[in-house]
């Protein structure tokens, strides 16, 4: 079986890449360029709102180079989780950028757009049939959850992307997709071992983050053959090491030996990482274990309110020693003043004392200065503004034991001190859906550049 090469230009479309690294990847004559364009890492806002967490100009910059290179070399360009979260609004946003670039370059291409949105009525029926179950420590899905989600997607596997390739797509723009699939679809279509193809894709999805020193804004290439794959960083300032690649295999995993995905899981118990010359690593031994039933991960987000924040600094050691009591007293004062407003949340994130890990912090001693983020969430922006403003002004002038200065307790880096941050979403669908056909829920729209 001949070697097959997949080029990963960047960890997320829009994160950028050095042109010298990208050219080095093209010089290795890849069979496909593939890139992950999204993640749930930035939180539920982007799925719920339909907004992208990457900027349009940055995405367009990356895509212009990728499209031009792929069409010139007559190799496919495959993009997964378009627009950051993969719902229809995100896919269409990304599609408009592609069409704009093609028009500017005066190029034509066979486009395949694969949507991943799930029809609510369909999901309600599947819920009644008992084909939906929680993914991890979450509650059972309810009809209310399904109807409340502003956007609802399923994470596609290999099969829809493989079909688009079989139908001659030159550019594939996929909605929400299991991260490795955009890298593994072509190899699996050509008969390569799915376990090796998916494992290689799982590493390539984050590009040079798997190298040393790591970077999400640099390129990585994978070489796949019958019984192994090799990874190579394309920037001479980086190299793949057995440690960096093995460590990245564990990235964001609850189990270092079993990596689940649509239709099965990668088994890494027998996987080996071999250091090769010139900063390359060979990986062997990965197995794929199919599940009895094919399941798709569902993701949904619902609106829960509106947020206002205020950022302030504290330097007084007397206040710092009793900051927990001060915060608790301020919250009590807010609650007393707004007894008629029950539907709000007030948080004070104290950076320098448990601000990152909260109650899990193993070293809770306070620093010599603290950064406070006062956060109010309420059912309307006006209420959130009111609660945050009152909490901020109360803490600014709060009288605590031993206080010496009466001018104010807080230092504000910005004016205005309060920022209306807008809508707040929460993930309310994070479940598995059992399906009979891995492709049925992912319609493919094919056409030329004017699609």
The 32-36 sheet, strands edge to edge? 272-276, 280-284, 229-233, 220-224, 4-8, 32-36, 77-80, 171-174, 111-114, 444-447
Backbone angles phi, psi at 84, to 5 degrees: 105, -35
Under a CB-based contact definition with an 8 Å cutoff, are residues 193 and 182 in contact?
A: no
pLDDT tens-place string over residues 172-213: 999 999 999 999 999 999 999 999 999 999 999 999 999 999
Mean per-residue pLDDT, 335-352: 93
Asked if pLDDT for residue 252 goes beyond 80, the answer is: no
Mean per-residue pLDDT, 37-59: 96
Total count of residues recorded for the chain: 451
Mean per-residue pLDDT, 112-116: 98
pLDDT recorded at residue 359: 84
Provide the CA 403 distance to its chain's centre, in angstroms. Answer: 45
pLDDT tens-place string over residues 84-101: 999 999 999 999 999 999
Mean per-residue pLDDT, 322-331: 96
Mean per-residue pLDDT, 58-77: 98
Domain ranges of the chain: 4-299+429-447, 316-410
3-state secondary structure the chain: CCCEEEEECCCCCCCCCCHHHHHHHHHCCCCEEEEECCCCCCCCHHHHHCCCCCCHHHHHHHHHHHHHHHHHHCCCEEEECHHHCCCHHHHHHHHHHHHHHHHHHCCCCCEEEECCECCHHHHHHHHHCCCEEECCCCCCCCHHHHHHCCEEEECECHHHHHHHHHCCCCEEEECCECCCHHHHHHHHHCCCCHHHHHHHHHHHCCHHHHCECCCCCCCEEEEECCCCEEEEECCCCCECCHHHHHHHHCCCCCCCCEEEECCEEEECCCCEEEEECCCEEEEECCEEEECCCEEEEEEEEEEEEEEEEEEEEECCHHHHHCHHHHHHHHHHHHHHHCCCCCCEEEEEEEECCCCCCHHHCCCCCCCCCEEEEEEEEECCHHHHHHHHHHHHHHHHCCCCCCCCCCCCCCECCCCCCEEEEEEEEEEEEEEEEEECCCCCCCCEEEECCCC
Tokens of 230: 């090799």
- In this prediction, residue 253 has a pLDDT band, given cuts at 50, 70 and 90, of confident
Write down the residue that tokens 């007559």 correspond to: 74
Mean per-residue pLDDT, 29-34: 98
Quote the percentage of the chain above a pLDDT of 90. 92
pLDDT recorded at residue 251: 77
pLDDT recorded at residue 254: 83
Asked if pLDDT for residue 450 goes beyond 70, the answer is: no
Asked if pLDDT for residue 335 goes beyond 80, the answer is: yes
Asked if pLDDT for residue 102 goes beyond 90, the answer is: yes
Mean per-residue pLDDT, 398-410: 90
pLDDT recorded at residue 1: 73
Mean per-residue pLDDT, 124-143: 96
Mean per-residue pLDDT, 5-14: 98
pTM: 0.94
pLDDT tens-place string over residues 356-394: 988 888 888 889 999 999 999 999 999 999 999 999 999
- In this prediction, residue 249 has a pLDDT band, given cuts at 50, 70 and 90, of confident
Query: What's the mean per-residue pLDDT of the chain?
Result: 96
Mean per-residue pLDDT, 54-74: 98
Asked if pLDDT for residue 451 goes beyond 70, the answer is: no
d(CA 389, CA 404): 24
pLDDT recorded at residue 302: 98
pLDDT recorded at residue 406: 80
**For residue 391, how many other CB atoms are within 10 A of its CB?**
25
Under a CB-based contact definition with an 8 Å cutoff, are residues 229 and 282 in contact?
A: yes
d(CA 344, CA 374): 13
pLDDT recorded at residue 407: 85
d(CA 183, CA 197): 7
């Amino acid at each position: 079986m001949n070697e097959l090469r997949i080029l990963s230009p960047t960890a997320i479309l829009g994160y950028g890449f050095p042109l010298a690294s990208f050219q080095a990847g093209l010089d290795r004559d890849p069979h496909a360029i593939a890139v992950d364009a999204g993640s749930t890492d930035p939180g539920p806002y982007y799925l719920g709102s339909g907004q992208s967490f990457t900027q349009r100009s940055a995405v367009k910059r990356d895509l212009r180079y990728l499209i031009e290179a792929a069409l010139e070399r007559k190799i496919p360009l495959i993009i997964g989780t378009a627009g950051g979260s993969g719902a229809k609004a995100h896919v269409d946003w990304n599609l408009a950028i592609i069409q704009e670039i093609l028009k500017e370059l005066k190029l034509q291409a066979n486009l395949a757009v694969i949507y991943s949105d799930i029809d609510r009525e369909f999901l309600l029926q599947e819920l009644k049939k008992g084909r939906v179950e929680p993914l991890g420590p979450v509650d059972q899905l309810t009809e209310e959850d399904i109807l409340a989600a502003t956007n609802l997607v399923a994470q596609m596997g290999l099969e829809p992307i493989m079909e688009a390739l079989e139908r001659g797509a030159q550019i594939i723009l996929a909605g929400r997709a299991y991260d490795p699939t955009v890298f593994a679809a072509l190899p699996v279509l050509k008969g390569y071992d799915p376990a090796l193809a998916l494992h290689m894709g799982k590493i390539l999805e984050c590009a040079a983050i798997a190298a040393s020193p790591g970077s999400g804004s640099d390129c990585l290439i994978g070489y796949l053959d019958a019984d192994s794959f090799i990874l190579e960083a394309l920037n001479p300032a980086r190299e793949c090491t057995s440690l960096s690649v093995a460590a990245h295999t564990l990235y964001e995993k609850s189990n270092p030996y079993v990596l689940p995905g649509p239709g099965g899981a990668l088994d890494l118990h027998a996987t080996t990482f071999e250091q090769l010359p010139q900063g390359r690593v060979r990986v062997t031994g990965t197995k794929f274990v199919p599940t009895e039933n094919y399941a798709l991960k569902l993701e949904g987000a619902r609106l829960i309110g509106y947020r206002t924040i205020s950022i302030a600094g504290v330097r007084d050691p007397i206040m710092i020693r009793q900051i927990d009591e001060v915060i608790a007293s301020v919250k009590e004062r807010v609650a007393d003043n707004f007894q008629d407003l029950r539907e709000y949340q007030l948080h004070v994130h104290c950076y320098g004392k448990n601000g990152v890990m909260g109650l899990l912090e193993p070293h809770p001693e306070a620093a010599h200065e603290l950064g406070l983020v006062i956060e109010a969430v309420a059912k309307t922006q006006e209420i959130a503004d009111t609660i945050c403003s009152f909490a901020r002004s109360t803490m600014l002038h709060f009288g605590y034991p031993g206080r010496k200065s009466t001018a104010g307790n807080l230092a504000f880096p910005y004016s205005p001190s309060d920022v209306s941050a807008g809508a707040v979403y929460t993930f309310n669908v994070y479940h598995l859906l059992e399906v009979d056909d891995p492709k049925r829920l992912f319609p493919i729209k094919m056409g030329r550049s004017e699609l």
